[in-house]
Amino acid sequence: MSKENNDATTTKPTATAAPKKESSAAIASTMTAEQATTMIIAPYVTEKTFTQIEKENKLAFIVADHAGKKQIIEAIRILYETEATEVNTARTIRGKKAFVRFKAPEGARELATKLGLV
């Protein structure tokens, strides 16, 4: 019986993981530049975000309330032609914020300069 239980537990995670990968791939491949501009509303700049640019290679953006992390990564790739590796989100009074870490070592600083933030 224990072998049957082990087999049942190992098959369940793989069955639920497959649809998630398909849906995120479908979202990433179908996003247009227009959809990306509605996803990313504006960069968010404070003294704290300047510190994050310098020390953590992160930029903050105000994003749409319905935006998911994978959608935000794809929108950053489409709009700014740079690769993001990680996104952390938070809901605040000003809206939903996304803190984006970039793949390139100076990616946040380069993008902030390109956007005229620094």
Distance CA 25, CA 56 (A): 28
Residues 22 and 43 in one domain: no
Same domain, 57 and 103: yes
Q: Are 16 and 69 found together in one domain?
A: no
Spans of the chain below 50 pLDDT: 2, 8-28
Number of domains in the chain: 2
Q: 11 and 45: one domain?
A: no
Which tokens is 109 given? 């600083």
Q: In what order do the strands lie in the sheet with 40-43?
A: 40-43, 58-63, 95-102, 84-92
The domain that holds 43 is classified in CATH as 3.30.70.330
Which residue range(s) make up the domain with 26? 1-30
Query: What average pLDDT is seen over the chain?
Result: 83
CA–CA dist 10, 86 (Å, integer): 28
pTM reported for the whole predicted model: 0.73
Same domain for 108 and 79?
yes
8 and 36: one domain? Answer: no
Q: Are residues 26 and 36 in the same domain?
A: no
**Residue matched to tokens 């979202």:** 27
Q: Model confidence over 48-77: pLDDT tens digits? A: 999 999 999 999 999 999 999 999 999 999
Integer Cα distance of 67 and 100 in angstroms: 13
In a shared domain, residues 54 and 92: yes
